[in-house]
Amino acid sequence: MRLDFAALGGAEAYRWMAATVTPRPIAWVSTCSADGIDNLAPFSFFQIVCDEPPTLMISIGNRPDGGEKDTLRNLRERGELVIQLVSAAQADAMNATSAPLPRGVSEFAHCGIETAPSERVAPPRVADAAVAFECRLASILPYPAEAPNHHIVFAEVLLAHIDEAVLADGRHVDPAKLDLVGRLGGAGYATTRDMFQLRRPG
């Protein structure tokens, strides 16, 4: 099979890329609006981009109507966020927060998700998240520049909260205990329960 992406529409290109670039980690992002309304939303275009300074990246697509999502609007207003990782036990709650709620409605309250206060930033944390990164906004890059339909968000990590229950020896994360989920194509998700080791040569 050969796919000429120049001949594909955006939805079709997304379908093929999202079904093949898998599994993708999920950033469960909490932000706060200038009016003090908390927001919580998942994004699977998510990755580490730098260790000095420690920086994470999220790509936020526009709404179907072309408008900006609340997460992006809140980042422009407050410049702060918390990025949580999603365990298998939290998959249903995470999925519930992807619903297109009206602006001004908090997913925390709507979905019954307990919060915990952050230390360095205003947005709250998901109380039972095993890993939460408190971050400040480093930059927002519209893409593509001539007609942006995504915004690449670079977030500098200020502080991490890691549940000691997912540590193997008090110093290292045990991926089996972390038990994260990743995004596949369509409605599919994967877990990180099946693992193997490869040591780099040399």
Q: How confident is the model over 96-124, as pLDDT tens digits?
A: 999 999 988 999 999 999 999 999 999 99
Backbone φ and ψ for 112, nearest 5 degrees, come out as: 70, 40
Using one digit for the tens of pLDDT, what is the confidence trace for 34-49?
A: 999 999 999 999 999 9
The CATH code of the domain at 23-179 is: 2.30.110.10
Supply the pTM of this predicted model. Answer: 0.95
Could you say which residues of the chain have pLDDT below 50?
A: none
Where do the structural domains in the chain lie, given as residue ranges?
23-179
C-alpha distance from residue 67 to each of 90, 150, 156 (Å): 28, 11, 25
Side chain identity at 12, as an amino acid letter?
E
- Report yes or no: 57 and 109 within 8 Å, Cβ to Cβ: no
Indicate the length of the chain as a whole number: 202
- Report yes or no: 148 and 67 within 8 Å, Cβ to Cβ: no
What's the pLDDT score for residue 28? 98
